Structures are given as structure tokens and as C-alpha cells.
Amino acid sequence: MPNIQQTSKDRSTIIFDAEIFAAPDLTIFDSQHWQSQQQITGSATGRGTTYFFTHANNEYVLRHYRRGGLIGKVIKDQYVFRGVTRTRPWREFKLLGHMHSLGLPVPEPVAAQVTRLGVMYRGDIIIKRIANSQDVFSHLCQGPLTNETWHAIGACIRQFHDHNVYHHDLNIHNVMLDKNGKIWLIDFDKCAIHASNNWKQANVKRLLRSLHKEQDKQSAFHFNEKDWQTLMSGYGE
């Protein structure tokens, strides 16, 4: 069971699982710290660089919060501070913990930090890496998925929607498939619990748009409308 604790020093506040990090400081959110111990196992590039590292025989993901869009070109990684519990790292950490307690297929949150910079803040999060997994986008670039997998993707999304979990960025890069055929969702920044049902169909259609977008961009992308029908059958329609 997670042992979630909180500590503050100077301008920084850390929330963490004491079963994994007994007495953490800000060094655990510094990729150079893990690099110096030769524990970096890889990285991925999006808005910024996400690092993968090992600690106590497990693999973890370290992500720094960065802005996208036009504002991200001016203010790359700072956000207006309105209290620790309203920051993006805090909200994602708490939401992941809630979903994990419900048994939803999400990465386990390990630690998050917020550092105040006057009226602004910067933040980071560490989560447990999903073992032996790859995003569905990469799979589709390599070859077709089985009907069982498409059905499982739809059933997975329905599972989240039944718990009223709104995924702000439901695209094919944030759907993971592990070696056992299990589907996971990742990247819950700006996500939340929404009690109403009026957003759910639009959320599913967002995933369809991302599939069509990649289909137009990639020279090899194994997706067709029958696949989508199978996904929607898994979703329950």
C-alpha cells in the first residue's frame, strides 16, 4: 500500500510515497542526479524531455511540466500559483492515486514537487513506468492490431468514462499496450473527474481524430474504419 506523505522546505513542497522514497529532496527530480548514478535508462521527447530511470529495482518516469502552444514559447515552464493543491503536479498526482485505488489501468504516482517563484511555480512528477509497454501509435506504425486489442481499447476507455474520468488529451500516443495485451492510459495532466455525461462522446471522437491525423501523416499506419467499429463495440456502442 502507498504511504503518501508531504514535506516542505523553503519555496518547495514535495508529495511522495514513503515506501519508495523515504526522505526525498529536490534531487530526485533532477535528471542529472540519476545520470550521475548511471540510472537513466532512456528518454522521450515531446514538449520537453521525459526521462526513464531505475531506483530500487523498479523503473520510473520523470517529467517536467512544460507549456505548449504560443504561450509556451514565451513562458516555457512556469504557471500562476493559486495554492499547492491547485497546481498541475498536485492534481495529476492525486488523480492518479485515486484512479489507481479504483483499479483503473494507470501508472502509479510516486512523487511530485512544486517550487514557487514569486507568483509563479514550476513542477515535476515521477510515476512508475508501465513495464514492457509501447504506445499504440508505435504498434500501428509497425503492423495491424488484432480485433481483440481494438475491442480492449474501447473497453478500457469505457472503464474510465464509467468512473467519470475525463482525459484532456485522449490521443493514440497516450494509449499503451503491454506485452500481456493489457491496455493502459497515460498522461493525466489537466485531467479531472467530471460528473456529467455530455463530454464523453466528444472525448471518444478526440481519439478518432488523432487516428485520422496520424493516418494522414504516416506512410505506414495500420488503421481502418472497421478497426474503429471494433473499438466502439468494446466501448459498448
With a CB cutoff of 8 Å and minimum separation 6, the contacts of 71 are: none
Q: Is 17 a residue of the active site?
A: no
- How many CB atoms are closer than 10 A to CB 15? 24
State the burial class of residue 133 (Cβ atoms within 10 Å of its Cβ: 0-12, 13-18, 19+): middle
Q: Are 212 and 221 in contact (CB under 8 A)?
A: no
C-alpha distances (whole Å) from 183 to each of 20, 136, 149 are 25, 9, 8
Phi, psi of 158 (to 5 degrees): -60, -35
Name, in order, each residue with C-beta under 8 angstroms of 25's C-beta and a sequence gap of 6 or more.
Answer: 9, 14
Where would I find the H helices in 30-146?
Answer: 31-36, 71-74, 88-101, 136-142
Round to whole Å and give the CA distance between 129 and 78.
25
Number of H helices, E strands in the chain: 7, 13
Report whether 154 contacts 185 (CB < 8 A). Answer: no
Q: Which candidate in 169, 178, 189, 216 is catalytic?
A: 169
Residues serving a catalytic function are 169
